[in-house]
Structure 1
Amino acid sequence: MTDAAPPAPFVHDLFVIGGGVNGTGIARDASGRGLTVALAEMGDLAQATSSASTKLFHGGLRYLEFFEIGLVKKALVERETLLEAMPHISWPMRFVLPYSPDMRFEGDTPTSRLLGWTMPWMKGRRPGWLVRFGLLLYDTLGGRKYLPGTATLRLAGTPEGAPLQDRFAKAWEYSDCWVEDARLVALNARDAAERGARIMVRARVTAAERAGDHWRVTVEHESGAQEEILARGLINAGGPWVETVLRGALRRNTSEGVRLVRGSHIVTRRLFDHDKAYFFQGEDGRIIFAIPYEGDFTLIGTTDKDHGDDPSRPAVCTDEEADYLCRFASGYLKRPVTRADVVWTYSGVRPLYDDGAKSATAATRDYVLSLDAGPATDGGAGSEPPLLSVFGGKITTYRKLAEQALARLRPFYPAMTGDWTAGVALPGGDFEVQGGYDRLVGELKAAHPFLEDAHTRRLVRAYGTDAARICEGAVRPEDLGRRFMPLLTEAEVRWLMRHEFARTAEDVVWRRTKLGLRMDEGQIAALERWMQGAMAMAAE
């Protein structure tokens, strides 16, 4: 009797390197098309760039000045598509752009050169008509269903004008959208997993090589254990590490690369008493936002600084950048912003495609998808298992990037189904954009009257329709388990561990939530001890 042959190893359709917004967005889209997907992230989901944005779904008003019309239009069209899919973690926001005739502009852009701002007689002036024209273009490029258009504001005696210096008598108000960036990533990963994807966090890809008609990928897990995974295609969505992955784990020479640009933000105590944001223009040609943040705070950012060529170098807001942001905002506000007002800073490295721009500010925010699959065969696909590398991108266009990435790979997966993500809600987002949030808050409060109003609103804002599942069966506060701080209970933490891949207190308080702004070191340490104990018990 002959021994039976061992079963053939399982081969995934697609392996994705990187657990940021692009990697998880691609994994979700591919899983929904019927592909078998594995994703490895060397840290926590959204641990780097994707949790360090300015938290906006926006077209990029200032990119019009660099003639990036196509990028702006693509992003504007996406705003409301994304808003419909995630009304719990994204919502409309109005932006106030103050204007004064004495404002000066010393920056050098294609528009400034075209209009003669470099000429002595016009140097430094950004005319009001040009700002208004840009806003008109912004209103019309992408179409609007939920977002109101631009309006002119007379600031005297208004809540919007109260924090501003008296020299600002006029402003324009336009629309964009807020988004909880790290939660966006976690929800894409969760949805991918629910559609069959294998999501591995704290799992580093140490090597990948072609072996016949597939890739052999070596993954090192946090425990030190190594695993070999086979896949018919490989996507390098390593963000700032995309070039490092190409040259290191993949051992490939490439002429393509990223320009690492650091964007830093400061968070202060609340600087104004309304729910609109400000768009401030600087004399150096840059812009910053001042945005209501987490109820009691104001978020100010961002900077644009070249970060060098080492993505592992920590991204921190330097003293110089913090002083710059304070000084910038103080040029508009009656009460100067000082370092004493700052309660937290954060910084991220944007992996912009290296297009040779002179400055970090001018570098393109669009993305480039680079396919390596050997010479094309008669069927249109390459002769080797494909490698697709993702360079650049911005959070607003992550869904379109995923669609286009899979379009590039279609010749290798002829049975793959078509585009599907537009209009399909992320987990918890299956409710109406207009009025749905308030309705859910009322329903959750009615079902669990012991919840404080602030707690109820925070749960719905973070989890949408899933807030009811987190609180299911609770008739008194004790039913939600241990309380780590007034707004964070054991029930929520267990949900994050089971459904959103949280492993540490940092994952919970700085990425899945921003409750770290309201917790002291002792509370965070106690949460960490509890989580590690809970995971140890689960592993027994």
Structure 2
Amino acid sequence: MAADYDLLIIGGGINGTGIARDAVGRGATVMLVEMGDLAGATSSASTKLIHGGLRYLEYYEFDLVRKALKEREVLWRMAPHIAWPLRFILPHHKDLRPAWLLRLGLFLYDHLGGRKLLPATKTVRLDQAPFSQGLKQLFHKGFEYSDCWVDDARLVVLNARDAADRGADIKTRTKCVSARRDGEHWTAVLRNLSTGEESTVTAKAIVNAAGPWVADMLTGVVGSNNTSRIRLVKGSHIIVPRLFEHDRCFIFQNGDGRIVFAIPYETDFTLVGTTDVDFTDDLGKVEISKDEIDYLCKAVSEYLEKPVTPADVVHTYSGVRPLYDDGAKDAKAATRDYVLELDGGAETPAVLSVFGGKITTYRKLAEQVLAKLEPFLPFKRGVWTAYAPLPGGDFKVTGFDEQVAALQKDYPFLPAVFATRLTRLYGTDARFILGEAASLDDLGKCFGYNLYEAEVKWLISREWARSAADVLWRRTKLGLRLSREEAADLETYMTGYLAEQTGAAA
């Protein structure tokens, strides 16, 4: 009997959706199940950087850094609406790493990854405008280098969208409660967490991309005796009102050997992070601690003229990184590279588990996962994702401003801030949301700021949004803009609209 699917993927984070997109594009039949929302855990809680990881050079992780650096411009080309270049300022702190060591690290950083579009490192004066703004006067010299930014949660959703458009079956709020080998196939029981209904599917292979739950999935669901250990490390961020007016980011060294970023965020804010704390608590309740808030405030205040205090924090978020336990003493030293473990194959159906990884290298991870599964699955083509844009990203990397201008030309009623936001989130797909609208009123009810009914309906019908949190904190970042009352109004609207859609479908 033929299996329902070639591949069942458990986990709707960046690795799971990236694998789904790549596999279905090669001709495999794919189902992905996610027990919550897409990017509902770790994949929406990153520092949102596509970067090589400058500090990993100190741990001699040259292969990881090289692999990540090469991906920066690939991902920028794939999704120029949600990814773009940033320039980082690394101040020289005379009591920490010497200037020669910083220069050497940045020289390697410039030359390891085949950089073509991003500008090279240069030395800058920090006692002159614009970089002197906000910094303590004791910092005179710094180094400016390149990396890229990405909207992490949207990167996940766009991979899922592209996978679905190519034929993958994406099921959110659906949990795989058991999986057993049944001859040449897996038989898996899936539970719809919204209705409680269960169904059974079969697959030739399973990918366990459950993130922090990867070990639980192996032992509790798949029934494997795998003894590989996972190290759960919590990273937390704080968001504060904008700390400086220029568009550069800062990377600050700390006395404990870690670094902290201060990055312009959503126009009016600054994102500060991250921490590295071993995590042993409930994965369903991942929150920043008072100690972490104090740590991040103290870390940036070491460099800034005006101290940042816990009272300045307007929002926080935390995520747990599922790192492969390589025995490192400190959480900050644990490897960020991924490890892929294959169980079965040849005579028994395979399960491949993903440990660790970085959002920057998700696409390469997907290619390596499928290389391991290729002997068991009917692929019709080879690697392909590097040159295929994600939905909405079919324009040149330098063409963002042109896209905004063209959108305003075709929809002259759009304020510049609104047109820019739509282009940043949806790229060329913004036109599908706007449709034939000739005025803001044609977009339906406004829930606050510039979030209209037309966009909410698109997020429900095309991007699996099912709650106000899905919309406000993952599909957009308008949770920073809408009041509690406005968010509650959105929740009420979505509940009613979804009930209507379910009734109509029945």
Task: Give the TM bin, normalised by the shorter chain.
Answer: over 0.9
**DSSP 3-state at the match of 1:249:** helix
2:491 to 524, 528, 533: 528
Unaligned runs of 5+ in 1: 1-7, 105-125, 374-380
**DSSP 3-state at the match of 1:248:** helix
Equivalent residues in 2 for 1:302-381 (5 A)? 302-308=274-280, 310=281, 312-373=283-344
Q: Partner residue of 1:250?
A: 222
Amino acid at match of 2:121: T
**Contact 2:28–2:378 under 8 Å retained in 1:** no
**Contact 2:125–2:131 under 8 Å retained in 1:** no
Question: 2:485 aligned with 1:513, yes or no?
Answer: no
Amino acid at match of 1:449: P
Q: Partner residue of 2:166?
A: 195
- Across the aligned residues of Structure 1 and Structure 2, the Cα RMSD in angstroms comes to 1.0
Larger Rg: 1
Q: Partner residue of 1:52?
A: 45
State the distance in 2 between where 1:253 and 1:53 align. Answer: 31
Shift of 1:9: 7.1
Question: 2:382 aligned with 1:418, yes or no?
Answer: yes
- The 1:415/1:351 distance shift into structure 2, 3 A limit, reads closer
Q: Partner residue of 1:448?
A: 411
2:465 to 498, 502, 521: 502
Amino acid at match of 2:53: G
State the distance in 2 between where 1:414 and 1:480 align. Answer: 45
Question: 2:129 aligned with 1:158, yes or no?
Answer: yes
State the distance in 1 between where 2:502 and 2:2 align. Answer: 26
Question: 2:350 aligned with 1:386, yes or no?
Answer: yes
**DSSP 3-state at the match of 1:200:** strand
State the distance in 1 between where 2:315 and 2:159 align. Answer: 27
Equivalent residues in 2 for 1:47-446 (5 A)? 47-101=40-94, 103-104=95-96, 126-221=97-192, 222-308=194-280, 310=281, 312-373=283-344, 382-434=346-398, 436-446=399-409
Amino acid at match of 1:431: F
Any idea what the Cα deviations from partners look like across 1:482-501, whole Å, max 9, x if unmatched?
A: 11112101111111111111
Question: 2:449 aligned with 1:467, yes or no?
Answer: no
- The 1:150/1:218 distance shift into structure 2, 3 A limit, reads same
Shift of 1:315: 1.2
**DSSP 3-state at the match of 2:102:** helix
**DSSP 3-state at the match of 1:539:** helix
Q: Partner residue of 2:25?
A: 32
**DSSP 3-state at the match of 1:130:** helix
Unaligned runs of 5+ in 2: none
**Contact 2:3–2:204 under 8 Å retained in 1:** no
TM-score, structure 2 normalization = 0.98
Percent of paired sites with the same residue: 57
State the distance in 1 between where 2:378 and 2:271 align. Answer: 46
State the distance in 1 between where 2:349 and 2:154 align. Answer: 33
Any idea what the Cα deviations from partners look like across 1:371-412, whole Å, max 9, x if unmatched?
A: 011xxxxxxx52111110000000000000000000001111
**Contact 1:410–1:416 under 8 Å retained in 2:** no
Shift of 1:255: 1.3
**Contact 1:51–1:182 under 8 Å retained in 2:** yes
**DSSP 3-state at the match of 2:349:** coil
User: Which structure 1 residue ranges, 4+ long, deviate > 4 Å from structure 2?
Assistant: none
State the distance in 1 between where 2:2 and 2:184 align. Answer: 14
Amino acid at match of 1:343: V
Q: Partner residue of 1:13?
A: 6
State the distance in 2 between where 1:401 and 1:469 align. Answer: 32
State the distance in 1 between where 2:352 and 2:222 align. Answer: 12
Any idea what the Cα deviations from partners look like across 1:189-208, whole Å, max 9, x if unmatched?
A: 01000000000000011000
State the distance in 2 between where 1:489 and 1:414 align. Answer: 44
State the distance in 2 between where 1:282 and 1:259 align. Answer: 23
